[in-house]
Structure 1
Amino acid sequence: MVRQFSLLVFSCLLFSCNNSEEHEETLSCDKFSIQNFIPITNWQPDSNSQKTIFLDYDNANNGFSIPSLKQVDAGTFAFAFEIKNHTTAAQDLYYKIYYQNETYKFPEYDSVLKKENPYAEENFYGSWENTSTTFKKISVASDKEFHKIEDRFHITGNPRNENRYIQNNINNRWQRNPRVGNYRFLIVVATAEDLKNIPNEVQNINLKSKDHFLNPFYFYQNGDGKNLKNTISYNSPLQLKVIAQPNLGGGIYVDDARFGGDIDKSNFCETCGQDSNLYKNAPIQQFINYVDMSTKMDNIPVIADILKDNYSTMDYNWNRSFYTKDELIPTILQTSKQPCATVFSDPKEKKIVIKNPKTKFGEWKKESVGIITRHGFTYGKYRVKVKLTELLNKKNVWNGLTNAIWLITQGGGEWNNRRNCNKDGGYMATYWGGANDKRVPAVDYTEIDFEILKTPPYCPDNVFPPVYKNPADNNKNNSSWNIQMPEEIGEGNITVACTNWDMACHEPVNFGVGCNPITYKGQTFETHRWDHNYRALTEKKEESDDELFGGEYYYFEIDWRPTEIIWRIGAEPDKMRVVGYMNDKVTSIPNNQMLLIITQEYHNTKWWPGAPYSQDNLPFPLNDIPGEILDLTIE
């Protein structure tokens, strides 16, 4: 039987006169023994249970390598183990190292089906970069002594070298970047006889069996591999924690494709633009929101600083009541036409500053602003420290902006398709296609949102919509035009909306329409979906505008896991609280690669039925409206 040992192993101490040395328990089978497997010997040598490494963003456009050449000579981890031959003659033995991300994985064993979990092939695991290198042969003398074996490996994108991520003979490892979180390491040693009984698809992880990959961790721990007589598989108790923390002062790259055609380069500078250094090393791009040309509106011809000018509900009601249609300004919500004019990377304070620009008479614009990361991941706990604009003034009037922290598909088509949806024809085919869009088995669109604005916090089916009286243009009777807000529009409060765009896949067992409760750790949240073809599921929670945006900073976190999404907010990382929760029983959880976006954007309030203030009745901005992104950590 294969000698298999879990992460909990015993050790013994061997003492000499002046020192002590800790040894792992020797693991033995009939033909040989191994001991002292150390999966990483050349990084943080004093850390015995967990080592930590931060992803190196320099020159990472082709994907992350762990470790990088800058972090460790040759860009590889060294590992070692000791082996002893039990036979009376020298024998050839064979070894292989595997790694797997443990934080964001599916269990290898399905306890219900009593076999390999069909989703275990989605786990991020690998071995040597060249997958055709299977087990390596070593010849071990019959001298009853332990012999030290040393070798090297590294963690890289597309570790199975899948054709899905290879185009024009180029292995685009960045299309399946290494995941953040904890990695474990498995050493396997086998005799030549046992090696014949290890499937080719386990030895060479690039190969498939019946169109599926075989997870080697399942094979050795739960599958036929555990019955091999002269094979030892051993999970080291030492794990590696991988964290992504891009330097926000490292510059902003401008992608021509996001602006279209010839672009104005007058605001380019050392920290924002298109030079070769920014192309290779900047972790951030300027983001340009999609502009829906159908959302044209007629805006009041007023310029004001809502947050500073004591703009009141009376001002709002007057301005929406007494301008004639001919006086209104036909406009659409805009994005920047001048790259680098509204986004700034500060290398000294290692932060990013964004600003919605002011306007002037005749210019008439409400311009959204934001940034997007350049390197995608699948899963992760995305935590941002931000000081975004306050949304309400002291009179409880909204400034028209939505603060958004969201993940979006890295795009790309087939290589980045999410897992197939196998019920009722699949996903709605497109993001914008409407209720009559066709359904398809696979799409690449995914999105997970924090959207924070002034809108009703409750689930629409319960008490919807709030009753708003229409004003009359009778300036001699204040009560006819100065309409009071309903009591349920909380003073000083804004709504945190948490959304997963699942493209209306009906496969989750509790897929629902309307308002439906879901419970997480004693909290109950109300999920809402408008109809069976609506592409998103949303939860809402009312919060204080002053708490979230009135201080020096606040934290927002999207914890995206294989079977659930958790939204948290808090004053400090150790004081986070849950404001939204969904799992794979109610919504399809994305499993493709996404980027992070942070925006201060103007929304058409038709997207938010029941919103107390209408975007077209809010003034254009008199002054710039700044926001700061102080830290981004993905772990």
Structure 2
Amino acid sequence: MRFNIPKIVALHIVVFSTVMLSLFSCRNQKPQSPSLSCESFSIQNFNPASNWQTDSIDQKTIFIDYDNANSGFIIPTVKQLNDGSFSFEFELKNTSASNQKFYYKIYYQNESYKFEELDSTTNKENLLAEENFYGSWENTFTTFKETTISADNSFHKVQDAFRIVGNPRNDKRYFQDGINNRWERNPRVGEYSFLLIVASENDLKNIPSFIQNINLKNNGHFSNPYYYYLAGDGKKLKNTIAYKSEITLKVIAQPNLGNGIYVDDSRFGANSDKSHFCATCGQDSNLFKNAPIQQFINYVDASTKMDNIPVLGDVLKDNYSQMDYNWNKSFYTKDELIPTIIQTTKHPCQTVVSDPKEKKIIIKNPKTAFGEWKKESVGIITRHGFTYGKYRVKVKLTELLNKNNVWNGITNAIWLITQGGGEWNFRRNCNKEGYMETYWGGAKDKRVPAVDYTEIDFEILKTPPYCPDNTFPPVYKNPVDNNKDVKLWNISMPQEITNTDGDITVACTNWDMACWEPKNFGVGCNPIDYKGQTFYTHRWDHWYRALTEKKEENDDELFKSDYYYFEIDWRPAEIIWRIGPQPDKMRIVGYMNDQVTSIPNNQMLLIITQEFHSTKWWPGTAYSQDNLPFPKNDIPGEIYELTIE
């Protein structure tokens, strides 16, 4: 079931008919009822979200509000519940002979994108579990709360509240000038679990301060409370119950694409042209607070300057042929060619549109004119970052090949990129020689322990596979500029290109900044198996910052249909790339894991672009960018839906 509710992230709560103990410290056998007992008390009926959709018993759904979310996501907001928090409740019975004080605390943890708390090899705490997204009350100095229960042998209901926020440990890493920038560690999407701890007064004294207050570190590391209570020393406490509810919470981000596009001066300059601003694209206060998207400006590499043929054309509509391509490649003199580089817009909002009625975004590579001569990339980027998630987009981007299977020069790209920011967004240290320091540097770039650059890509264009390496690159004949003999200039493509003439290449890439730490780090072509398929990773050399896999797919299927789905499934230890006509009919086109590449663990944004690439970036490409026409018509693309779950 789909919910087209604006500005929100979907949150599913699956409620099981029976709530049972996952693990508790004072009994070895699971009880026959939801009531859990220790020497001096019993608890039952723990419900971590008792005030939300109380009439639903099998599934509860909530949407995180994207409105005014620049300071970070909050689950839930005051728009959804009057006090802006989930109520939780449980029943507590004092089984001793006198009135007693008891102490309770709630923890939550994202279960979809986590490292296991217990290291199965050492049978100790997995140090990477400190990276898991877990929290409690947002004031971390509020440790356990006290309640007094009379000795009447009856259950008493205890009620309290909490909400899920960014930087839940109040880690100083995300503070600047005394301000807690919770948006720098936003809540993750996926399923959440809930752990209720109830302890006697004596047991409370034995719970370490760094478990009671999750802001504190133990020997330089945060200690995951789930490990402590469910697998560590907390299991030994005789009058403490750790109650992990079977009610789970699933967070799904689905921003309303019709809610506007914000224009950031840092990308255009304060004196940029504002003549195309409108109610749904610009810089007014409403867009600043509520627009989930902003216009993206590609990095322009000045070293990729090219001399382009002086031709205006519509490769797709004019049925530009291979003969046309060969003629234009052969018979223009150097003096007639147009020196140029790929352009980006100087007019924000001119080439991107947010449609509030259809809740979609339209992008277009603009047409050019004789004498203007430009190829201009276009794209959008999200404004709110996440760490991990299954990013799925429903799009109709431009077709790449015409009826003659000639490429139009566009690369359709769906990709994740670092949210930047420096040290607060550094990826995990590379413990073998470090990362290459810069994105753009060469082999002589120095290595450093940590960087903030990360990128995971779908790039789709007409280019051959790198693997197997004994067939790469294809051998192309050079034309002879003799217009009296058509066979000399109208040369045919190599057979390995014509065999897949109607296909384009789906390139799946992880920018790992050449960290050598993965066990199977390699160069050249190397196989990796996943679910019955073999994929071939490729890296040019030991200093190359990216690992790529390529798969050929039919252009008409991906881009001639009304829409198509593309998905990047980014997990702590692996990345899976999928495509398909429907969400339930996706197929895997790329796979990598932490044995072959360093998987990013910092916060990233999603970008969707239609780019003119220099084909120097893609060796072996059949059609060279500088021998393709400048566009005489706009090249549109549409983005219908973005889901992160």
Is the structural similarity TM-score above 0.5? Answer: yes
Distance 2:212 2:341 in 1: 58
The 5 A counterparts of 1:273-288 are 273-288=282-297
In structure 2, the residue matched to 1:478 is: 486
Distance 2:405 2:272 in 1: 39
In structure 2, the residue matched to 1:15 is: none
In structure 1, the residue matched to 2:398 is: 389
Does the CA contact (< 8 Å) of 1:7 and 1:236 recur in 2? Answer: no
Q: Please, which moves more after superposition, 39-48 or 174-183?
A: 39-48
1:467 aligns with one of 449, 472, 475: 475
- Aligned-residue CA RMSD (Å): 1.3
1:488 to partner: Cα distance? 1.2
Distance 2:81 2:213 in 1: 27
In structure 2, the residue matched to 1:532 is: 542
1:74 to partner: Cα distance? 1.3
In structure 1, the residue matched to 2:503 is: 493
1:73 aligns with one of 79, 82, 98: 82
1:45 to partner: Cα distance? 1.9
Does the CA contact (< 8 Å) of 1:165 and 1:415 recur in 2? Answer: yes
**1:628 and 2:638 correspond:** yes
1:579 to partner: Cα distance? 0.2
1:462 to partner: Cα distance? 2.9
1:614 aligns with one of 624, 630, 633: 624
What secondary structure, in the 3-state scheme, does the structure 1 residue paired with 2:62 have? strand
**1:191 and 2:187 correspond:** no
In structure 2, the residue matched to 1:83 is: 92
1:413 to partner: Cα distance? 0.3
1:226 aligned partner, one-letter code:
K
In structure 2, the residue matched to 1:181 is: 190
Structure 1 residues 84 and 158, CA gap change in structure 2 (3 angstroms): same
**1:51 and 2:67 correspond:** no
- Deviation string 1:147-176 (CA, Å, 9 cap, x unpaired) is 100000000000000000010011100000
Structure 1 residues 173 and 240, CA gap change in structure 2 (3 angstroms): same
2:600 aligned partner, one-letter code:
P
1:419 to partner: Cα distance? 0.3
Distance 1:292 1:435 in 2: 18
In structure 1, the residue matched to 2:317 is: 308
1:5 aligns with one of 15, 21, 24: 21
1:52 to partner: Cα distance? 2.9
Distance 1:440 1:544 in 2: 41
2:436 aligned partner, one-letter code:
M
The 5 A counterparts of 1:22-171 are 25-48=34-57, 50-171=59-180
Distance 1:357 1:620 in 2: 10
In structure 2, the residue matched to 1:594 is: 604
List alignment gaps of at least 5 residues for structure 1: 13-23
1:25 to partner: Cα distance? 1.7
Distance 1:587 1:166 in 2: 30
In structure 2, the residue matched to 1:20 is: none
Distance 1:297 1:336 in 2: 19
- Deviation string 1:97-152 (CA, Å, 9 cap, x unpaired) is 00000011010001101101110000000000100000001111111111100000
**1:508 and 2:518 correspond:** yes
In structure 2, the residue matched to 1:357 is: 366
In structure 1, the residue matched to 2:460 is: 452
Structure 1 residues 220 and 7, CA gap change in structure 2 (3 angstroms): closer
The 5 A counterparts of 1:187-586 are 187-424=196-433, 426-459=434-467, 461-489=469-497, 490-586=500-596
Does the CA contact (< 8 Å) of 2:378 and 2:611 recur in 1? Answer: yes
What secondary structure, in the 3-state scheme, does the structure 2 residue paired with 1:627 have? strand
- Deviation string 1:212-231 (CA, Å, 9 cap, x unpaired) is 00000000010000010000
1:46 to partner: Cα distance? 3.5
Distance 1:627 1:54 in 2: 28
Does the CA contact (< 8 Å) of 1:53 and 1:243 recur in 2? Answer: no
1:480 to partner: Cα distance? 1.0
1:463 to partner: Cα distance? 0.9
Structure 1 residues 160 and 49, CA gap change in structure 2 (3 angstroms): farther
Structure 1 residues 279 and 488, CA gap change in structure 2 (3 angstroms): same
1:202 to partner: Cα distance? 0.5
1:194 to partner: Cα distance? 0.7
Identical aligned pairs, as a percentage? 76
Structure 1 residues 44 and 7, CA gap change in structure 2 (3 angstroms): farther
1:196 to partner: Cα distance? 1.2
**1:605 and 2:621 correspond:** no
- Deviation string 1:325-349 (CA, Å, 9 cap, x unpaired) is 0000000000000000000000000
1:634 aligned partner, one-letter code:
I
Distance 1:234 1:400 in 2: 58
- Deviation string 1:565-607 (CA, Å, 9 cap, x unpaired) is 0000000000000000000000000000000000000000000
What secondary structure, in the 3-state scheme, does the structure 2 residue paired with 1:244 have? strand
1:238 to partner: Cα distance? 0.4
List alignment gaps of at least 5 residues for structure 2: 1-19
Structure 1 residues 10 and 574, CA gap change in structure 2 (3 angstroms): farther
1:48 to partner: Cα distance? 4.0
1:7 to partner: Cα distance? 8.3
In structure 2, the residue matched to 1:16 is: none
Distance 2:518 2:545 in 1: 14
Does the CA contact (< 8 Å) of 2:466 and 2:538 recur in 1? Answer: no
What secondary structure, in the 3-state scheme, does the structure 1 residue paired with 2:465 have? coil
Does the CA contact (< 8 Å) of 2:437 and 2:445 recur in 1? Answer: yes
Distance 2:59 2:268 in 1: 44
Distance 2:62 2:415 in 1: 25
Q: Please, which moves more after superposition, 530-539 or 452-461?
A: 452-461
TM-score (norm 1): 0.96
The structure 1 segments of at least 4 consecutive aligned residues displaced by more than 4 Å after TM superposition are: 7-12
1:44 to partner: Cα distance? 2.1
2:544 aligned partner, one-letter code:
Y
1:374 aligned partner, one-letter code:
R
1:457 to partner: Cα distance? 2.4
What secondary structure, in the 3-state scheme, does the structure 1 residue paired with 2:514 have? coil
2:478 aligned partner, one-letter code:
N
1:11 to partner: Cα distance? 8.9
Distance 1:319 1:54 in 2: 54
TM-score (norm 2): 0.95
1:10 to partner: Cα distance? 8.1
Does the CA contact (< 8 Å) of 1:313 and 1:395 recur in 2? Answer: yes
Does the CA contact (< 8 Å) of 1:356 and 1:624 recur in 2? Answer: yes
Does the CA contact (< 8 Å) of 2:21 and 2:244 recur in 1? Answer: yes
What secondary structure, in the 3-state scheme, does the structure 2 residue paired with 1:317 have? helix
1:261 to partner: Cα distance? 4.4
Number of residues of Structure 1 aligned to a counterpart in Structure 2: 620
1:53 to partner: Cα distance? 2.3
What secondary structure, in the 3-state scheme, does the structure 2 residue paired with 1:462 have? helix
